[in-house]
Amino acid sequence: MVANETGAKNGKDVTLIIDGIKTQAKEGTFILEVARQIGIQIPTLCYNKALSPFGACRICCVDITDARGRNRIVTSCNYPAEEGLIVETKSEKVLKIRRKLLEFLLARTPKVARIRNLARIYGVENTGLWVENEDEDCILCGLCVRVCNELIGVSAINFAKRGVKREITTPYNEFSDDCMGCGACAMICPTGSKRVRTHTYSTLKPLTGPKDEDLGVCLDVFSAKSSIEGQDGGVATALLISGLQNGLFDTAIVVQRTEGYQAEAVAAENVDEIMKAKGTKYLRVKMVPKIKELINAGKTKIAVVGPPCQARAARKIEQALKEDFPNLEITIIGLFCFESFDYNKLKAETDRLIGVDLDKAGKTQIRKGKFSLKIDGNEYSCRVKDLKNAIEKGCPYCSDFPALYADVSVGAVGSAEGFSTVIVRTERGKKLLENVSLTKGDFNKDEVVKLCTLKRDRAKTNFAPLVEGIHMARLQEKAV
């Protein structure tokens, strides 16, 4: 049940009149939805059926008279249908209020095409109000905040400050530790605002080069293993060691286990520190603070190893800071990832499903739909799909399986046991591989494409209600 259907799903039928049309609806259904069902168009900028109503833009205001004869203006997106309600969506009072609201919005965002077009529909060509910032493009509708909180579940952005200083941003206006780059905030924004994209990872400059429909930018792809005993042939570890020894970077951010199966991002500056971090941890570990810490300490040649969400974050940070730090180079080794797990939930689920203590696992691995772990020489396993309750919030909305923004992507899918699939995406990635001794194996592209397609389709399915709401809002405006 989506938020704006609360109270309506099992409610009784009520009769109301909208623009002279008598209709029935479930008690509690919001007026905006009832109007849409009978073909009456009401414009809105801050409403999406997949999210809870907020009533921020107030463009959907209507004139109501209730059964007791009380008359007032309300926002139709969050006012529930009730018995005997009379609703006017185009009365002169309503149109006058909408014009004034659009004049305010024009004063705030004078260059935003969607605001200008909607204002023009209501006869508002210009605003006589004071324009503080001609380049402002955010109307504070809160859609991005709600989608990140309610649907994606990570709350990477929120409102900050009060009054005329109110804004939407990440905590402390810094690069987000929580954003996983799903793009929902950019997708749903009615004005295409750049504000929420400044310190999040929803939009990036694309990599350049020959592009495969499923694998992304791809200069080369093969299966390989190194001489290092590590996860699936130790390829990622070999790349880090070679890059460090050949001066491609002087620090590598890796994930190292701490207490039990818990893990954290650490800065490795020598081979021993890299070797301590070998092996995949299927947890989403925050790397952004460590990247910022190293850059602030004067480091400009950094390597990062992580899943697609972390690869996006690292790439965005490099692109965003290039002007201030022209020598900044972040070499990104991306790991294939269908989903990451929350440590506490994974610990609880492995105990429930397998009857083992995750903290005692020496090695964990996901291969061919099976999650396995080794404890004291014994192997235990369960199906990955049975761990759905342990998946990190936001993962079901990520469409990137092969780490599309990495310099080199590495993963077990598509290769035989003991080997990794390697996708080289950039010239920096090619250079990283120049001095690495690898044994080549057989590569099965179909296996990788299958997982790419599954993850992309899952995200598309999960986003479908949101996309439908966006499409509906646009149709409403055109039909007004």
CATH of the domain at 412: 3.40.640
Q: Tens place of pLDDT for every residue, the chain, 480 residues?
A: 344 444 455 579 999 999 999 999 999 999 999 999 999 999 999 999 999 999 999 999 999 999 999 999 999 999 999 999 999 999 999 999 999 999 999 999 999 999 999 999 999 998 888 888 999 999 999 999 999 999 999 999 999 999 989 999 999 999 999 999 999 999 999 999 998 888 999 889 999 999 999 999 999 999 999 999 877 889 999 999 999 999 999 999 999 999 999 999 999 999 999 999 988 899 999 999 999 999 999 999 999 999 999 999 999 999 999 999 999 999 999 999 999 999 999 999 999 999 999 999 998 999 888 999 999 999 999 999 999 999 999 999 999 999 999 999 999 999 999 999 999 999 999 999 999 999 999 999 999 999 999 999 999 999 999 999 998 888 777 766
Q: Is residue 382 part of a domain?
A: no
- Tell me, yes or no, whether 157 and 252 share the same domain: no
Residue 402 lies in a domain: yes
Q: Do 194 and 273 fall into the same domain?
A: no
Same-domain pairing of 223 and 322? yes
Q: Is 218 a domain residue?
A: yes
In a domain, 102, yes or no: no
The CATH number of the domain holding residue 54 is 3.10.20.740
Report the number of distinct structural domains present in the chain.
Answer: 3
Mark which of 64, 90, 116 sits at the end of a domain: 90
For residues 331 and 442, membership in a common domain is answered with yes
Examine the domain organization and report whether 73 and 150 are in the same domain: no
- How far is the C-alpha of 33 from the C-alpha of 125, rounded, in Å? 29
CA-nearest of 9, 47, 40 to 23 is 40
Contact 285, 263 (CB under 8 A): yes
Of 155, 179, 203, the residue that ends a domain is 203
Q: Is residue 312 part of a domain?
A: yes
Q: Are 281 and 305 in contact (CB under 8 A)?
A: no
Indicate whether 195 and 79 sit together in one domain: no
pLDDT of residue 475: 79
Instruction: Look at residues 28, 60, 90 and tell me which one is the last residue of a structural domain.
Output: 90
Same-domain check for residues 199 and 270 = no
CA 332/CA 22 separation, integer angstroms: 61
Domain that holds residue 400: 211-340+392-461
Residue 235 and residue 168 share a domain? no
List of residues 6+ apart from 221 with CB closer than 8 A:
215, 421, 422, 423, 424, 443, 445
- In angstroms, the CA 5 to CA 265 distance is 42
Same domain, 185 and 216: no
Identify the CA nearest to 380 among candidates 360, 401, 408: 360
Residue 358, domain member (yes or no)? no
Six-digit token pair at 312? 């996006």
3-state secondary structure 196-230: HHCCCCCCCCCCCCCEECCCEECCEEEEEECCCCC
113 part of a folded domain: no
Please state the φ and ψ torsions of residue 301, each to the nearest 5 degrees: -120, 100
The answer to whether residue 19 is domain-embedded is yes
| Secondary structure class of 364 (helix, strand, coil) | strand
- Residue pair 22/3 in contact (Cβ under 8 Å)? The answer is no
Same domain, 34 and 165: no
Query: What's the confidence (pLDDT) of residue 5?
Result: 47
Pair 223, 415: CB distance under 8 Å = yes
Pairing verdict, β 439-441 and 378-383: unpaired
Q: Please check whether residues 49 and 181 belong to one and the same domain.
A: no
If asked whether residues 286 and 406 sit together in one domain, one would say: yes
